Amino acid sequence: MKHSRAAVLLACCTSACSGFDRQSAVDPAGPQAESIEHLFVFMVVIAVVVYIAVIGATIAIIRRRKATDEDPRSPSREASAARAIKLAIGVVVPVLFVLLVYDFSVGRSVNAMTNTPMLTVELTGHRWWWEVQYEDPIPQNRVRTANEMHIPVGRPVNVKLASHDVIHSFWVPNLAGKKDLIPGHVNEVIIQADKPGVYRAQCAEFCGAQHANMSMMVVAESPERFSKWIASQRQVPAPPVDTLAARGQTVFEGGQCAMCHAVASTRAAASIGPDLTHVASRLTIAAGTLKNTTANLGGWIVDPQGIKPGVDMPSNALSPTDLRALLAYLRTLQ
Amino acid sequence: MTTADKRGAITLPPAIDQGDRERLQKTWEPRTGFIGWITSVNHKTVGKRYIATALIFFLFGGLEAGMIRLQLSRPDNGILGPDLYNQIFTMHGTTMMFLFAVPIMTAIGIYLVPLMIGARNIAFPRLNALGFWVYLIGGGFLYVMFFMNTGPDAGWTAYTPLSGPEYGFGKRVDIWAQMVTFTEISALIAALEIITTIFKMRAPGMTFSRLPLLVWAQLVTAFMVMFAMSSVATGSIMLAADRLIATHFFNPAEGGDVLLWQHLFWFFGHPEVYIIFIPALGMVSQIVTTFTGRPVFGYPVVVTALIATAVIGFALWVHHMFATSVHQLGESFFTAASTMISIPTGAQIFCWLATIWLGRPVWKTPLLFVIGFIVVFVMGGLTGVMLASVPFDLQAQDTYFVVAHLHYVLIGGAIFPLLGAFYYWFPKVTGRMMSERLGKWNFWLLFVGVNVTFFPMHILGLRGMTRRIYTYSDAMGWGTLNLIASVGAVIIVASMAVFAFNLFWSLRKGEAAGANPWNADTLEWATTSPPPPYNFVDTPVVIGRDGLWDYGDEFPVITGLHTDRPEVLITSVMTAEPRYRHEAPSPTFAPLVMGVLIGAMLIAGVFTPWGLVYGTAFIGIPFYMWAWPDKREHERNLREENEKRLEKKEAA
């Protein structure tokens, strides 16, 4: 698993050195975002032309020299003003119609179902993290993870959106437009990546104190790599062999951690916070806030309120040995 | 009929002697000093109060914007924590929309509409005074609570369930919802008065086809307020009920629906933008008329455009909700409507440009602000057309692209015309001119500041910067553009400081204005500056659409209103023919007392539902004060009726 992550990091180092591709609506990496970007460019061109025309006309009108004997209410000049206005409106209306038609066709194409069998991912918004579940007809093949979604390149993914608390919005600008996660409603959005990369997603609907730090990584990788990833996610982590990590597991199961988090095949089975079964394999922690390093993880466990004030995770006053053990254990959860 | 000089200062009709003027003064302002000020029901006193209060809220809203820009000026900034930041941006939006923009547009209507239609006062002047007190108490309450760290923090849109009982902690959102109730009351009161005043109190001869464009704009806006406010009133009452008495309107677990809030809110929220924007369009029309020396070209087009904007404005609300998943047919409808609304506004801009082209423009500060309005607003309008597209909107919604768009539209479409209006009408209200030199500084600083602040936000939004985030990491690459935007905010602050200085300096040291310093055409310029409490010695008679410009050497007036009692002339709705004299209510403490009691009731209602129950009973007291007949007035009326009867008998 370790080297696949490194490969992904390497792949995206070409475009950004921050661990993910630039989060951008004008840097599309999939068909949905791409057709929207084309529409956007078309609209910008039209808008710039219209803007130049209006401002140009304004400047020309301001700079016009007037004959001193000119009658400001002369009917002959009023007639030409009327013609100019009619012409301007006559140009604007058809342009708006062209925009509408183009826009409707793009709107329908980004939502179109394809014949390719889609991967279905259930995404649930929580304050302030994302719960990700991969649907599978065989129940034990379902995969549950958090704040990171792996998708195979070139295959449409149907993301089913639900919310556990308030309204959130799922937005991966490089792949598609946003869709809200609304309590009591189920929404769906189709995303697809054509280029491998790590695309950042951010909550786009204000959801409270830590709305700013509610992001996740969408990792697009080759189908083979994706199959490997999903297979590894289905595995249950082996009990730790080294004594420090084993002690860490005791700390995890016996302390505050297990009250909210789950690690498969252990006594920790709560579902209030993110599932940590494969936490060490993830790129980030704290919903995209920090890179997943041991130092960051330690800081996060000890003082989450300092990093994300208002978050539900309480501070943990662990003894240095317990913390070291806990970190050693968490690093084994590949 | 008396003569008046059309160009210079209006010579007041000599038929009225000084004694009449003194009598009128005494009748319309029986009490002076502090008591007179506090009991006043004069539309100009109330209007000025409204404007001053709205400007103070504008200052607060601006300071909040400054703090937002300070926090976002660099990545990982720690000046404001998330809790305070969320309160501050909520207060910024709430203040600017509910406590500044809508009230100041209404306030200008309250001040100017009666003057522009040649009336002595507004209809229902006591209600008008009440509207101000309710607004003041509501806004003051919100700020007192904010300074006590109980400011609302769910955004000015207060989406449920974030604002609901489960996630909106403490009293924060309750205070927000109740503040909305306060502003609803005052906005509905003002709308009611403006409609009645325009329908029934226009000067003889002022038919609808001769109505000044600002009056048209205020009329259209008042109707929009009537429909839009009812929607948010329903919503805010339901929200308050969910929070206070555990109803479940917005609770999906009990069969409620969180999206219901968004529909109710945006059915008000989108028209709200036009409630702010349409009066500004009216101001632009008046400024263009005066400073080009000719009527706006295409008057029927402009009026139709105002009405069309108001009607279409109610068919756009779902474009704020595209990301919630809308049925495709619905999406197409709201896209088409959102695209369509650009046509009437575009037509108006073309008409103003044609007017400037045809006329003889005088480049004073107000006209400069009109040009600024066109340059800034058209940019916002074009991004608005882009945002009407659902697929693009789903990329841009809730990002800084939308923040840029809405500030271009609202600053371009409302602040520029409003500042122009200040420079234009300041001489009428105070009798002194504002400094032109400072005005130009004010304009250019604002123009540069707005573009430097808000243009980079388009790019930030496309690069993925979402709204309402209190911080962002350096890795996102948003630092530079945010810093530029913050520098722009400093320029805007400088511009507003120049404006504030100009206001205060001109109030004391400004050049004396005279009745009609700009040689404008509308009736408010046919009286002294500042206008006397009774507005006009004699009611003017309107003979054409161009108001004062139509008069030539004659200044036709209609006489016959009593000078010993506050009488207004009521005219017919369509033809503006004189119908009867109506005795307007006199100054009284009742609106203040009632305002305070309504305030106490609503504030108590935040903390306990019984506040509303007991409060309703107490409101009976000022209601009696309000409606209590004046004994002397009553006796006088009886005496006059008897005299008339006797006269008739003798004649028979």
Q: For residue range A117-128, list pLDDT tens digits in order.
A: 889 999 999 999
Q: Which amino acid is it at A120?
A: T
- Give me the pLDDT at residue B126, please: 93
- Give me the pLDDT at residue A262, please: 94
Mutation to test the B interface, candidates A166, A187, A217, A218, most B Cβ within 10 Å: A166
Cross-chain Cβ contact A54/B374 below 8 Å: yes
More confident position, B631 or A282: A282
Q: What angle separates helix B43-72 from helix B102-116, to the nearest 10 degrees?
A: 150
Question: pLDDT band at B17, cuts 50/70/90?
Answer: low
Q: Please name the member of A40, A72, A185 whose beta carbon is closest to the beta carbon of B359.
A: A72
Instruction: Give the separation between CA A259 and CA B71, rounded to whole angstroms.
Output: 35
Cross-chain Cβ contact A177/B378 below 8 Å: no
- Give me the pLDDT at residue B616, please: 87
Mutation to test the A interface, candidates B86, B291, B353, B549, most A Cβ within 10 Å: B353
Which of chain A's residues have a Cβ under 8 Å away from the Cβ of B371? 58, 62
Question: Average pLDDT, stretch A168-184?
Answer: 95
Asked if B323 is an interface residue toward chain A (Cβ–Cβ < 8 A), one would say yes
Mutation to test the A interface, candidates B162, B294, B465, most A Cβ within 10 Å: B162
Q: How many CB pairs under 8 A join A and B?
A: 238
Question: pLDDT band at B629, cuts 50/70/90?
Answer: confident
Cross-chain Cβ contact B167/A166 below 8 Å: yes
Question: Average pLDDT, stretch B603-609?
Answer: 92
**pLDDT above 60: residue B49:** yes
- Give me the pLDDT at residue B628, please: 83
- Using H for helix, E for strand and C for coil, what is the string for chain A? CHHHHHHHHHHHHCCCCCCCECCCCCCCCCHHHHHHHHHHHHHHHHHHHHHHHHHHHHHHHHHCCCCCCCCCCCHHHHHHHHHHHHHHHHHHHHHHHHHHHHHHHHHHHHCCCCCCCCEEEEEEEECCEEEEEECCCCHHHCEEEECEEEEECCCCEEEEEEECCCCEEEECCCCCCCEEECCCCCEEEEECCCCCEEEEEEECCCCCCCHHHCEEEEEEECHHHHHHHHHHHHCCCCCCCCHHHHHHHHHHHHCCHHHCCECCCCCCECCCCCECCCHHHCCEECCCCEECCHHHHHHHHHCHHHHCCCCCCCCCCCCHHHHHHHHHHHHHCC
Q: Which two tokens stand for residue B151?
A: 């400011």
Q: Which amino acid is it at B408?
A: Y
Cross-chain Cβ contact B466/A43 below 8 Å: no
Count of beta carbons in the 10 Å neighbourhood of residue B540: 26
Instruction: Give the separation between CA A302 and CA B99, rounded to whole angstroms.
Output: 44
* pLDDT digits 0-9 by tens, B445-494: 999 999 999 999 999 999 999 999 999 999 999 999 999 999 999 999 99
SS3 B6: coil
CA distance A318 to chain B (A): 26
**pLDDT above 50: residue B3:** no
- Give me the pLDDT at residue A247, please: 94
Mean pLDDT, chain B, rounded, equals 92
Mean pLDDT, chain A, rounded, equals 89
Question: Average pLDDT, stretch B613-621?
Answer: 86
Question: pLDDT band at A21, cuts 50/70/90?
Answer: confident
Instruction: Give the separation between CA A198 and CA A253, rounded to whole angstroms.
Output: 32
- Give me the pLDDT at residue B554, please: 77
Question: Average pLDDT, stretch B53-80?
Answer: 96
Q: Which two tokens stand for residue B447?
A: 């123009």
Question: Average pLDDT, stretch B547-568?
Answer: 86
**pLDDT above 70: residue B9:** no
- Give me the pLDDT at residue A11, please: 40
Q: Please name the member of A58, A78, A310 whose beta carbon is closest to the beta carbon of B353.
A: A58
Which of chain A's residues have a Cβ under 8 Å away from the Cβ of B391? 35-36, 39, 103, 106-107, 110, 177
- Give me the pLDDT at residue A15, please: 39
- Give me the pLDDT at residue A9, please: 39
Question: pLDDT band at A18, cuts 50/70/90?
Answer: low
Instruction: Give the separation between CA B349 and CA B353, rounded to whole angstroms.
Output: 6
Cross-chain Cβ contact A166/B81 below 8 Å: no
Which of chain A's residues have a Cβ under 8 Å away from the Cβ of B392? 36, 39-40, 43, 103, 177
Question: pLDDT band at A74, cuts 50/70/90?
Answer: confident
Question: pLDDT band at A69, cuts 50/70/90?
Answer: low
* Least confident interval from A15-29, B24-38, B65-79: A15-29
CA distance B95 to chain A (A): 19
Question: Average pLDDT, stretch B152-165?
Answer: 94
Question: pLDDT band at B563, cuts 50/70/90?
Answer: confident
More confident position, A253 or B551: A253
Cα of B471 vs its chain's centroid, Å:
34
Q: What angle separates helix B82-94 from helix B172-200, to the nearest 10 degrees?
A: 10
Which of chain A's residues have a Cβ under 8 Å away from the Cβ of B347? 85, 89
* Least confident interval from A54-68, B210-224, B326-340: A54-68
Model pTM greater than 0.80?
yes
Q: Please name the member of B259, B396, B473 whose beta carbon is closest to the beta carbon of A182.
A: B259
Which of chain A's residues have a Cβ under 8 Å away from the Cβ of B351? 85
Annotate B382-417 with DSSP letters as a single string: HHHHHHTSHHHHHHHTTBHHHHHHHHHHHIIIIIHH
* pLDDT digits 0-9 by tens, A274-327: 999 999 999 999 999 999 999 999 999 999 999 999 999 999 989 999 999 999
Question: pLDDT band at B52, cuts 50/70/90?
Answer: very high
**pLDDT above 70: residue B371:** yes
- Give me the pLDDT at residue A5, please: 41
Question: pLDDT band at B1, cuts 50/70/90?
Answer: very low
Which of chain B's residues have a Cβ under 8 Å away from the Cβ of A47? 382-383, 385-386
Cross-chain Cβ contact B475/A66 below 8 Å: no
Which of chain B's residues have a Cβ under 8 Å away from the Cβ of A77? 358
Q: Please name the member of B347, B357, B391 whose beta carbon is closest to the beta carbon of A64.
A: B357
Q: Please name the member of B258, B293, B395 whose beta carbon is closest to the beta carbon of A25.
A: B395
